[in-house]
A = this chain, B = another copy of it.
């Protein structure tokens, strides 16, 4: 079948076979099909979607295009988690050492941030010396020794995803459930895991703005994971305001350390422990969520999780002393205190708007090739539901770029809405899809 016919078939709403998708995308990877035919195809997929069978085929073609890590010689439950991305989402930094201290093997690969959401790799790289680009043998060595490792996706692991993602990013074809599913799941399945918990964010600061689309994406990814024999559960969690109190790379590492020391903010700990408990359930260790959360809380209380984080940092070349002295992390030369211009109960804090403020401060990338400032970001002092007096401190903005100070201060204030009475309390954990 010619590339033209593949595009037309999808455009007209027909399903493509595994062979058709494979021939089409493999030829693209070899540069035998031009970008302009692929982008027309991607837009047709955006409008016409894919069946579950097609999404399985897509995922398999993407998986087969790269290399897979074989962890069969490492004993234990190999479970990972993945978040669709939010603002202030440092859950992985806490969970990876926490789960490893609970006996789970966590072979985590993550991405970099783009737009208003942060990426785990960027956060890790704010730790002086930390190497996110381990070789496969170093990665496996780490898993054998300390049961966890956190690295970035390498091009050889997912070359087709890399090529497709770069094209989707400039052709408005990112937000397509089958394309997101293929991208995420082909990368996660290449890790050699046996279980996966997906944190599907929903709300103002998430890619999925409403429950219907979050549910659709969660269902699609869960189905694909299970179709490949990886036990997969998704949990839909709220992303209307930033998660925790810190937004920005080194600031989030600091907050993660606080969490591992038992001093984490409620919303962040609620999400972290819930996902952790789901990982225990997926591993077959503890089916009951409340029991799982208790077990994990205990590992924080007795210091095991924090010790594991120290081991992880040390093994990956980072300075482990940051655990005791977070001030060794990069810090911004400029701190702007944002005072409230009114008094009242905070009704909402727009996570996307705050994510964009953080990006402008230097913590994120507007484009794939933008440089980031590891120390830039926001330290929140108040969150939704808090009562604030006029002139009280709402947050501190950290940056190295004096020019953005006033602009970001105004933008932050715009993102916060006040009212006379406390807003209705919203749940962080919305729905589990398994």
Complex interface residues of chain A between 4 and 50 (CB less than 8 A to chain B): 4, 7-8, 11, 34-40, 42-44, 46-47
Chain B CB within 8 A of A171 CB: yes
Given B8, B39, B44, B47, which contacts A36 in the complex, CB threshold below 8 Å?
B39
Q: Considering only CB atoms, which chain B residue lies closest to A2 in the complex?
A: B170
Complex contact A171–B36 (CB within 8 A): yes
Complex interface residues of chain A between 303 and 349 (CB less than 8 A to chain B): none
Chain B CB within 8 A of A172 CB: yes
Known pairs A34-B35, A36-B36; A170 contacts B11 (CB<8 A) = no
A170 to B35, CA, bound (A): 12
Which of chain B's residues have a CB closer than 8 A to the CB of A8? Answer: 172
Chain B CB within 8 A of A167 CB: yes
Complex contact B44–A11 (CB within 8 A): no
Chain B CB within 8 A of A240 CB: no
A171 to B4, CA, bound (A): 6
Per-residue CB contact flags for chain A residues 134-177 toward chain B (1 = under 8 Å, else 0) read 00000000000000000000000000000000010011110000
Given B4, B36, B171, which contacts A7 in the complex, CB threshold below 8 Å?
B171
Complex contact B4–A40 (CB within 8 A): no
Per-residue CB contact flags for chain A residues 68-109 toward chain B (1 = under 8 Å, else 0) read 000000000000000000000000000000000000000000
What's the nearest-Cβ distance from chain B to residue A314, in Å? 42
Q: Considering only CB atoms, which chain B residue lies closest to A9 in the complex?
A: B172
Which of chain B's residues have a CB closer than 8 A to the CB of A36? Answer: 34-36, 38-39, 167, 170-171
A260 to B3, CA, bound (A): 44
Which of chain B's residues have a CB closer than 8 A to the CB of A173? Answer: 40
A135 to B35, CA, bound (A): 37
A38 to B39, CA, bound (A): 9
What's the nearest-Cβ distance from chain B to residue A280, in Å? 41
Which of chain B's residues have a CB closer than 8 A to the CB of A4? Answer: 170-172
Complex contact A11–B172 (CB within 8 A): yes
Which of chain B's residues have a CB closer than 8 A to the CB of A11? Answer: 43, 46, 172
Which of chain B's residues have a CB closer than 8 A to the CB of A167? Answer: 36
Q: Considering only CB atoms, which chain B residue lies closest to A8 in the complex?
A: B172
Q: Considering only CB atoms, which chain B residue lies closest to A169 in the complex?
A: B4
A365 to B167, CA, bound (A): 32
Q: Considering only CB atoms, which chain B residue lies closest to A168 in the complex?
A: B40
A7 to B172, CA, bound (A): 6
Q: Considering only CB atoms, which chain B residue lies closest to A167 in the complex?
A: B36
Which of chain B's residues have a CB closer than 8 A to the CB of A38? Answer: 36
A357 to B352, CA, bound (A): 58
Interface centre among A36, A167, A172 (most CB of B within 10 A): A172
Given B37, B46, B170, which contacts A37 in the complex, CB threshold below 8 Å?
B170
Complex contact A172–B40 (CB within 8 A): yes
What's the nearest-Cβ distance from chain B to residue A293, in Å? 40
Q: Considering only CB atoms, which chain B residue lies closest to A174 in the complex?
A: B8
Complex interface residues of chain A between 357 and 414 (CB less than 8 A to chain B): none
Which of chain B's residues have a CB closer than 8 A to the CB of A172? Answer: 4, 7-8, 11, 40, 44
13 contacts between A and B (CB under 8 A): A4-B170, A4-B171, A7-B172, A8-B172, A11-B46, A34-B35, A34-B36, A36-B170, A37-B39, A37-B171, A39-B40, A40-B40, A43-B43
Q: Given contacts A3-B170, A35-B35, A47-B47, could you give 11 more A-B pairs where the C-beta distance is less than 8 Å?
A: A4-B170, A4-B172, A34-B35, A36-B38, A36-B39, A37-B39, A37-B171, A39-B43, A40-B43, A40-B173, A43-B47
Taking Cβ atoms with an 8 Å cutoff, the residues of A that contact B are 3-4, 7-8, 11, 34-40, 42-44, 46-47, 167, 170-173
